[in-house]
Amino acid sequence: MNITIINGPNLNLLGTREPGIYGNSSFESVLQQLRKKYGNVNITYFQSNHEGDIIDRLQEIGFGDADGIILNAGAYTHTSLAIADCIAAIKTPVVEVHISNVHAREEIRHHSMISRVCKGIIIGFGTDVYRLAIESFLSE
């Protein structure tokens, strides 16, 4: 099984950015744990602070041989019709994830532009959302 994790803006700062919301673990350590736990799954990773780069990667993977995409679009979740249109156009299923419970935060974070075109949504369980998303693909 091939799964790609795509993280959006500021998620490269995990472990140092607002640890009360996002925790103390770097994404590199989360990724190492996931790869160790799911040794039979090929997990690739991409992070960008740029909307167009995220769309390019979604298109590249979305028409390839990936079995699933886990997307934490960060703040683009709430603003990017372009990313939503891209997800709707590709064939690979996408699970939307958020480390924090976005519904317990600022009102602007309560609406997702991408949820309607995603296979599912996992929010509010810290970095465990990535594991839960992998499990969702494995249980199909």
Query: Can you tell me which residue has the tokens 């996992």?
Result: 122
* 15 Cβ contact list (under 8 Å, min separation 6): 22, 23, 24, 25, 26, 27, 29
* 93 Cβ contact list (under 8 Å, min separation 6): 68, 69, 118, 119, 137
CA distance 116 to 138: 22
Both structure tokens of 119? 């296979």
Q: Which residues are catalytic?
A: 22, 98
